[in-house]
Amino acid sequence: MNKIIIRIIASIAVLAIIIYLVFPSLFSSDSENKKETQTEPKSSKIAIDAQIVKYETFENDIVLTGSLLANESVELASEISGKIENIYFDEGEFVSKGKLLVQTNVADLQANLQRLKYTAKLNSQTEQRQKQLLEKEAISREEYDIAFTNLKTTQAEIDALEAEIDKSRIRAPFSGFIGLRYVSEGSYITPTSQIASLYNVDPIKIEFSVPSRYSGLVKKGSKITFSSEAENTEREATVYAIEPQIDPVTRTLSARAQTANPNNSLIPGQFIRINLSLENRENAILIPTTAIMPKANGHTVFIIKEGRAQLKDVELGARTSTRVEILKGISKGDTVAIAGVPQLKNRAEIEIKKLEK
């Protein structure tokens, strides 16, 4: 029995030697890893990007959105019902103020007008005869007054009928461009029928809203620059009207500006981006928004001193799309962490990968 055990032990020993010779890495990896761990300790410093604070001129502009409005616009419609007899305009045509655009059929009114004119002529002759007789005291004053009243009543009826006939002629209330036409000759229209639109677009209006905190800085005569969604060219406009109250829902102040549009390239309804220059401040401190960390009752930043992060409370001013103004908390010459900020803690050791000056 002892011989059998000895043979088994010997076999295991031989097998172990063979495995060691064939697969030496199985026995060396742990020890090598331990050596590497001992010779190469892991760094505890946090890598960040930083910026040295300096004074700058802060151009305090805000970007707003707005839309273009026609200087004047109207939906052309008839004041009376009737069948269209003639159309005197083409779609897209420029028309001058007062131009006849549409004529409806008023043959019945014209006939009635002619009858009243004959009646008026007869009443005028009667009034003249009655006047002569009154001067000779051949008739009473009452008889003359009846003739005079008949004449004036007929003349008033003529005036009313001529005004009604004039409503059948639709004229351009101002100079501008005609839009698309929605009726044809022979169509029967009513006061609710849409005939076409008329637009005056030179000058053109710009409507926009300003946040209430900037309301005191926008005045009549203020200049704005803008660009439309159809072109990248910057244009200038002048504010000419401001709403006298803040909108209680949006907390914004509505305003309108105006600019020339001689080539009609600006079209009513277009979306525009507006740059409103409020004020420029010298010696302002500006840092990237990525450096700001919010807290319950304010904001903080990390400044770097002697290789460590120090948490500082700051007071924010105006913002741009990428930077924010710092009113209190840091000074010129401070080094502020601007990237890798979320992983920082107060007094953490720092390694600056990139420093902006």
Q: What is the pLDDT of residues 131-176, one digit of tens each?
A: 898 888 888 899 989 999 999 999 999 999 998 899 899 999 999 9
Please check whether residue 289 is in contact with residue 319, taking contact to mean a CB–CB distance below 8 angstroms: yes
Q: Which of 15-19, 27-31, 34-38, 181-185 shows the highest mean pLDDT?
A: 181-185
pLDDT at 195 over 90: yes
CA 22 to chain centre: 77
Select from 49, 66, 20, 40 the least CA-distant residue to 257: 66
Whole-number Å distance between alpha carbons of 236 and 321: 22
Confidence of residue 15 (pLDDT cuts 50, 70, 90): low
57 or 270, which is more confident: 270
Token pair recorded at residue 106: 């008023």
Whole-number Å distance between alpha carbons of 234 and 275: 10
Give the per-residue pLDDT at 317. Answer: 82
Amino acid making up residue 103: Q
Select from 63, 56, 52, 65 the least CA-distant residue to 280: 56
User: Using one digit for the tens of pLDDT, what is the confidence trace for 220-236?
Assistant: 888 889 988 878 788 99
pLDDT, the chain, mean: 86
* Residue carrying the six token digits 């000895």: 6
Count of CA atoms in the C-beta half-sphere (13 A) of 144:
14
Give the per-residue pLDDT at 45. Answer: 87
Please check whether residue 277 is in contact with residue 320, taking contact to mean a CB–CB distance below 8 angstroms: no
Whole-prediction pTM: 0.59
Helix (H) or strand (E) holding 144: helix 141-166
Q: Rg of the chain's alpha carbons, rounded to an integer?
A: 45
Percentage of residues of the chain with pLDDT beyond 70: 88
Helix (H) or strand (E) holding 96: none
Please check whether residue 51 is in contact with residue 303, taking contact to mean a CB–CB distance below 8 angstroms: no
For every residue of 228-257, DSSP letters joined together read: ETT----EEEEEEEE-SS--TTT-EEEEEE
For every residue of 158-184, DSSP letters joined together read: HHHHHHHHHTTEEE-SSSEEE------
Count other C-beta atoms under 10 Å from residue 191's C-beta: 10
Strands of 188-189's sheet, edge to edge?
Answer: 169-171, 100-104, 82-87, 188-189
Confidence of residue 44 (pLDDT cuts 50, 70, 90): confident
User: Using one digit for the tens of pLDDT, what is the confidence trace for 304-324?
Assistant: 998 999 999 999 887 777 888
Select from 332, 326, 324, 322 the least CA-distant residue to 313: 326
Please check whether residue 290 is in contact with residue 339, taking contact to mean a CB–CB distance below 8 angstroms: yes
Residues 6+ apart with CB under 8 A from 131: 144
Sign of CA dihedral 230, 233, 238, 243: positive
User: Using one digit for the tens of pLDDT, what is the confidence trace for 324-334?
Assistant: 889 999 999 99
By three-state DSSP, how is residue 17 classified?
A: helix
